[in-house]
Amino acid sequence: MMRRVLSRLARSRLARAFRREDGTASIEFVIFVPVVVTIFMASVEAGFYMAKHVMMERGLDMVMRDLRLGKLGKPDHDELRTLICHATPMLKDCESILMVEMRPMSMLTFDMMTDPATCIDRGETGEPDIDYDTGSSNELVIVRICAIQDPIFPSTGIGLQLRADAQGGYQMVAASIFVNEPD
């Protein structure tokens, strides 16, 4: 008998609790605010990525213009990286995260670089093997640069589709083509 009374009492209290409407706004808040904040953070991350990428492409184009005009001669890898970094002030610690590849391109087949860009992996010691050939007179040369950048908000997942290094930084790649002037 006591058991039935307690069961009926528990059911009536439970039914009253389900009919109450106070606290419903907090449920919506708990469900939707994290989603909205995550979308906002991902938008900020994407905006910074785009700004850095555009500035990196601009810096590469400025240096390639000087190279095409013959103002730079035939710079080596470190000189070209330094010039690109000076033209790209938005990249933090640029000279340690930027890799420059340069190779001649056949003017018969126009084979582009199909392999992934060579980037510095901050988890490994030493620099990777790079393809750096300035080409000869009247030869088409393709230049590709790769920089590693750390995400601002790594938990938003904006960079899940981007190639990353061992420490979670995403890769930004830009390319340009020029022709070596005849001697």
Residues 125-173 have pLDDT tens digits of 666 666 776 777 778 888 899 888 888 877 776 656 666 666 777 888 8
Residue type, 44: V
> Quick one: pLDDT at residue 131?
72
Among 42, 47, 56, 46, smallest CA distance to 90 is for 56
- Tally of CB atoms within 10 A around 51: 11
Outline where DSSP puts E strands in the chain: 98-105, 140-149, 170-179
Residue 77 in this model has a pLDDT that exceeds 70: yes
Q: Taking each helix axis from N to C terminus, what angle separates 77-87 and 24-68, rounded to the nearest 10 degrees?
A: 130
**Helix ranges (DSSP H) in 69-183:** 77-87, 94-97
Residue 95 in this model has a pLDDT that exceeds 80: yes
> Quick one: pLDDT at residue 54?
93
Q: Return the structure tokens found at 47.
A: 């905006």
CA 136 to chain centre: 33
SS3 171: strand
pLDDT grade for 24, boundaries at 50, 70 and 90 = low
- Model confidence over 44-54: pLDDT tens digits? 888 888 999 99
